[in-house]
Amino acid sequence: MAAYDLTGTVKLIMDQMTFDSGFTKREFVVTTPDDRFPQDIKLECVKDKCALLDRVSVGQNVKVTFDLRGNEYNGRYFVNLTAWRVEPAEASGAVEEMPPMDDMAPMDDSSAGPMPF
């Protein structure tokens, strides 16, 4: 599966959600300035990747590496942008001092089972 990158400003970080199955996820929104009008893009971190957002704050410029995931549940189709790396973005050509937040490859979700919602 191909990985995608997105650079923008963190607009919102939501609380972590834990479902009855034990599955955890945490959603966040990044505003991108790439288009004529800024876009608010909602992404999610799942399982152990939720901890990536502990080092991020609203208003921070970040580069997010994510996978595009799609699934069907009860006749409805869903698309999720699942982040697996969040790191400071370059600002004015200079890299911020904070190191990357995760250098690991994307996790294998094959054992995750069906979505809990």
Identify the structural domains of the chain with CATH numbers, from first to last. Answer: 3-88 (2.40.50.140)
Instruction: State the Cα–Cα distance between residues 76 and 95, nearest whole angstrom.
Output: 42
Assess whether pLDDT exceeds 50 at residue 92: no
The tens digit of pLDDT for each residue in 32-68 reads 987 789 999 999 999 999 999 999 999 999 999 999 9
Name the CA dihedral angle for 53, 58, 60, 64, rounded to a multiple of 10 degrees.
Answer: 40
What's the chain's average pLDDT?
84
Assess whether pLDDT exceeds 90 at residue 103: no
- The pLDDT assigned to 63 comes to 96
72, 87 contact by CB (below 8 A)? no
Q: What is the mean pLDDT of residues 87-111?
A: 54
Assess whether pLDDT exceeds 80 at residue 115: no
Answering whether pTM is above 0.85, one says no
Number of Cβ within a 10 Å radius of residue 72: 10
- The pLDDT assigned to 32 comes to 94
Instruction: State the Cα–Cα distance between residues 6 and 29, nearest whole angstrom.
Output: 11
Q: What is the mean pLDDT of residues 5-18?
A: 96
